[in-house]
Amino acid sequence: MRLSVLSSRILRLNPQRVLRHPFYPYLRRSSAASSSGGGGGGSDSATANCSSEMASASLKPAVAGNPKLLPRELNEVVGIARKCWIKFKKEAAFAIFTPFIVSLASGNLKLETFRHCVAQDAHFLKPFAQAFEVAEDCAEDDDAKIGINELKKVTLNKLKMHDSFAEEWGIDPVKDATLNPATTKCIDFLLATASGKIEGAKASGKLVTPFEKTKLSAYTLGAMTPCMSLYAYIGKELQIFIDGESNHPYKKWIESYSSDSFQAFALQTEELLDKLSVSLTGEELDVIEKLYYQGIKREIDFFLAQPLEQKCVVPLYGEPNDLEKRHLMIFSDFDLTCTTIDSSAILAEIAIVTAPKSDQSQTANQIARMTSADLRNTWGVLSKNYTEDYEQCIESMLVSEKAEKFNYEALRKALEKLSEFEKVENQRVIDSGVLKGLNLEDIKRAGERLMLQDGCINFFQTLLLRKKNLNADVHVLSYCWCGDLIRSTFSSGGLSDQMKVHANEFKYEESLCTGEIVKKMESPIDKVQAFSEILQQSCSGDGDERRKKKRLTVYIGDSVGDLLCLLEADVGIVVGSSSSLRRVGNHFGVKFVPLFPGVVEKQKAYPAEGGGDPWKGLSGVLYTASGWSEIHAFLIGS
């Protein structure tokens, strides 16, 4: 079997989708091949050219806590500072979703906690100024020296600003002089870097030549820049909560970091890092990446270390009393929620690549299969028909008058049309015979090599590592025709035994698909019924103490087919940018709220002593996440 070729072709498919339907990615690629004049032969040629990609380690899931370095080619497009921010921006979610930042943004952070943070921050600014001084002394370029000197002056001015903060908010310099461990680690890391004690750097601590001095200056900026960039990002993210709000208690703090002057300060720091790094080797740039990553992680730890003696809505499942009282149930779609490519496109690729050529004979005991050319044409026809009929089905759901407020019953009734449509389309696939002869081992190998959305595997690995303490269950609900593909995908991350998969299944004869599908989940109605049945089963069994705990349900999805489950869950989180999902949702009164502002609004209404649960299903509100890092930070924290 040409499975290594197959999987590299799959990974080269364009993951951006306009619709959620089975064959669209394959149609786009085959159309592109045809327009280039290659026809079927051109597509096979492309397959051969990319077969070597299977040897790449990037096909394997990233290990949690060990970020992979970006491709070297990115250096040619952006400087090292922007490159690092692009790579590690997902870590910023873990900062803004800390209890401290969420409470501060909401305005109900206790003043004592804020005072403590400002005092700790002042302690950190002093070594920051020292580090700028070291970087200035080591820099050989006159322009760089001038730039670093300006940054040092700005830092000293910020120290004076902190003195005014201290006076305004009643901070006692003596009482708040004690450093907490997280602040100490930030300071130690920064000063160690400035003194040349850098893990992984050659000739660490020795400054003989001008180049070595410049390199240390770059390393020092590499450790400092993530702090500036992160605070600038936080300032901009929090600005929306003070716009038009004159009484926000922490308006001045937010304005100090969202201001044009601080944004320029952060940008100037990034530009200086780029300037100092121009002459560095690839290995030395890797050292800067690692320093940058360590710097941003220490800043997150700094926020997490702030003593918060009040209730907070984040992480959703993190407070010690929750662990004893709650049963967390996470539900997730698979196609394009977890994956970058629709599973049906993968199955289509397997069918085409492993099919016999027109001049190949098939043995008598084999399941009769179409030739690769016939399969390619048949998949194309199925895809074209599906695309056109899907659009018509969606339009037919929107002919009614737009709802003035959330109307779940009308939405469910409309989605019955889509449910019938999906079932008819699945039967067409079965009747066409395109699935006949697919080998189970080929499917499993393709699943093991399937790339998931960035942060997805890390989230589930972290969640299930904490499963015993968190009392959490994970269910995957999917239209996918083949549950084996899903299970093999998660097996590569060591998760298959801990995630309950609810999907359709292929029928096999001696590991070869007969072309039939065991239909278990074909439609939005099937999904929400499975969702309800799983919840009902979780409540059964009086003898099981876990069943008596309060249930908290989260559903994560990306398409119209997920709408009912998203709305019935206590928290419904939308990933991706499906236009049909938003069109249908908006038509029936569903509100889509960005996750972070939505969390801050919940915190505003959350009483300091706790009280009622702020999350409940069928509210008509869904939360949109930019990616799995946001989901991770919100649900279980850093």
- Which pLDDT band holds residue 543 (cuts at 50, 70, 90)? very low
**534 and 628 both lie in a single domain:** yes
Residue 163 is predicted with a pLDDT of 75
pLDDT, tens digit, for every residue of 610-632? 556 789 999 999 999 999 999 99
For the chain, the average pLDDT equals 84
Q: Give residue 39's region: left, alpha or beta (phi > 0; psi -120 to 50).
A: left
Instruction: Let me know: does 313 contact 606? Beta carbons within 8 Å.
Output: yes
**Domain with 266 in it:** 80-305
Contact 329, 475 (CB under 8 A): yes
Dihedral, 240, 246, 248, 249 alpha carbons, nearest 10: 140
Q: What is the DSSP string of 368-415?
A: P---HHHHHHHHHHHHHHHHHHHHHHHHHHT-SPPPSS--HHHHHHHH
- The answer to whether the Cα torsion of 442, 447, 451, 453 is positive or negative is positive
What is the average per-residue pLDDT within 475-490? 98
292 and 411 share a domain? Answer: no
DSSP 73: G
Length of the chain: 638
Distance CA 490, CA 266 (A): 40
Average pLDDT over residues 479-504: 93
Same domain, 101 and 230: yes
Instruction: Average the pLDDT over each of 123-132, 166-175, 413-422, 501-510 and give the range with the smallest value.
Output: 166-175
Instruction: Please check the confidence at residue 586 and state whether its pLDDT lies above 50.
Output: yes
- Per-position DSSP letters for 508-562, written without gaps between them: EETTEEEEEEE-S--SHHHHHHHHHHHHHHHH--TT-GGGGSEEEEEEEE-SGGG
Same domain, 498 and 547: yes
* Closest to 623 measured CA to CA, from 634, 636, 610: 634
| 348 and 233 together in one domain | no
pLDDT tens for each residue of 240-284: 999 988 899 999 999 999 999 999 999 999 999 999 999 999 999
**Coil, strand or helix: which one is 596?**
helix
Contact 8, 56 (CB under 8 A): no
Q: Establish how many alpha carbons lie within 13 A of residue 345's alpha carbon, considering only the half-sphere containing its beta carbon.
A: 27
Q: Which residues pair with 328 in a beta bridge?
A: 472, 552
Residue 46, domain member (yes or no): no
Q: Are residues 251 and 387 in the same domain?
A: no
Answer whether residue 147 is part of any domain: yes
Residue 43 lies in a domain: no
Q: Residue 69: CA atoms inside 13 Å, Cβ hemisphere, count?
A: 15
Q: Do 311 and 607 touch, CB atoms closer than 8 A?
A: yes
State the Cα–Cα distance between residues 208 and 469, nearest whole angstrom: 53
Distance CA(559)–CA(579), nearest Å, equals: 9
The more confident residue out of 530 and 140 is 530
Kindly provide the residue ranges of all beta strands, DSSP E only, lying in 74-185, ordered along the sequence: none
Assess whether 276 and 342 both reside in one domain: no
pLDDT of residue 34: 32
Neighbours of 336 (CB within 10 A): 22
Confirm if 500 and 474 have CB atoms less than 8 A apart.
yes
Catalytic annotation, pick one of 84, 117, 186, 227 = 227
Does the residue 262 lie in any domain? yes
Of 484, 462, 527, 559, nearest to 62 (Cα)? 462
Give 10's pLDDT tier (boundaries 50, 70, 90).
very low
Of the listed ranges 16-25, 52-61, 66-75, 481-490, the least confidently predicted one is 52-61
**Confidence (pLDDT) at 162:** 73
Q: Element (H or E) spanning 33, and its range? A: helix 24-35
Helices (H) and strands (E) in the chain — how many of each?
25, 9
* CB neighbour list of residue 493: distance below 8 Å, 6 or more residues apart: 61, 457, 460, 461
The amino acid present at 50, given as its one-letter code, is C
Q: Give the H/E segment covering residue 321.
A: helix 320-325
pLDDT at 470 over 80: no
Residue 512: predicted pLDDT: 96
Selected catalytic residue, list 299, 349, 425, 448: 299
Q: Is residue 428 located within the same domain as residue 478?
A: yes
Nearest to 438 by CA among 363, 504, 514, 517: 514
**Alpha-carbon distances of 135 from 123, 148, 224, 282, 540, rounded to whole Å:** 20, 7, 10, 21, 64
User: Do the domain assignments include residue 428?
Assistant: yes
Active site residue 416: no
- Whole-number Å distance between alpha carbons of 46 and 497: 36
Domain assignment present for residue 10? The answer is no
What is residue 366's predicted lDDT score, i.e. its pLDDT?
A: 66
**Rg of the chain over CA atoms, in angstroms?**
28
Percent of the chain with pLDDT strictly greater than 70: 81
Shared-domain flag, residues 282 and 332 = no
Write down the pLDDT at residue 317: 80
- Is 90 exceeded by the pLDDT of residue 504? yes
526 lies in a domain? yes
pLDDT at residue number 547? 52
Q: For the segment 204-231, what is each residue's pLDDT rounded down to a tens digit?
A: 555 558 888 899 999 999 999 999 999 9
- pLDDT range class, residue 51, cuts 50, 70, 90: very low
Q: Mean pLDDT over residues 319-328, rounded? A: 63
Q: Lowest mean pLDDT of 22-31, 518-527, 577-586, name the range.
A: 22-31
pLDDT at 595 over 80: yes
User: What DSSP string runs through 226-256?
Assistant: HHHHHHHHHHHHHHTTTTT-TT-TTHHHHHH
List the CATH number of the domain containing 262.
Answer: 1.20.910.10
The answer to whether residue 172 scores a pLDDT higher than 80 is no
Q: Which helix (H) or strand (E) holds 345?
A: helix 343-354
Overall average pLDDT of the 536-543 stretch: 71
Query: Any catalytic annotation for residue 50?
Result: no
Give the per-residue pLDDT at 468: 65
Q: What is d(CA 572, CA 592) in angstroms, rounded to the nearest whole number?
A: 10
Residues pairing with 473 in the sheet: 329
3-state helix, strand, coil in the chain (%, to 5): 60, 10, 35
Better-scored residue on pLDDT, 118 or 74: 118
Q: Is residue 281 domain-shared with residue 378, that is, in the same domain? A: no
90 and 187 in a single domain? The answer is yes
Q: Which of 33, 59, 180 is nearest to 120 (CA)?
A: 180
- Beta strands 326-332 and 550-557 are parallel
Q: What is the pLDDT of residues 389-427, one digit of tens each?
A: 999 999 999 999 999 999 999 999 999 999 999 999 999
Q: Is residue 422 part of a domain?
A: yes
Specify whether the CB–CB gap between 214 and 276 falls below 8 A: yes
- In the block, tokens 């090599």 appear at 449
In this prediction, residue 55 carries a pLDDT of: 29
CATH code where residue 484 lies: 3.40.50.1000
Q: Give the pLDDT band (50/70/90) at residue 544.
A: low
- pLDDT attached to residue 62: 33
Bridge partners of 573? 556, 623
What is the predicted pLDDT for the residue at 608? 59
Beta 591-594 vs 571-574: how paired, if at all? unpaired
In which band, very low, low, confident or very high, does the pLDDT at 548 lie, cut at 50, 70 and 90? low
For residue 64, what pLDDT band results from cuts at 50, 70 and 90?
Answer: very low
Q: Mind listing the pLDDT tens digit for each residue in 284-316? A: 999 999 999 999 999 999 999 999 988 899 999
387 Cβ contact partners less than 8 Å away, ≥ 6 residues apart = 19, 21, 24, 27
Mean pLDDT of 164-192: 83
Judgement on whether residues 386 and 424 belong to the same structural domain of the protein? yes
Separation of alpha carbons 232 and 227, rounded Å? 9
Can you tell me whether residue 583 is helix, strand or coil?
helix
* pLDDT band, residue 71 (cuts 50/70/90): very low
* Total structural domains within the chain: 2
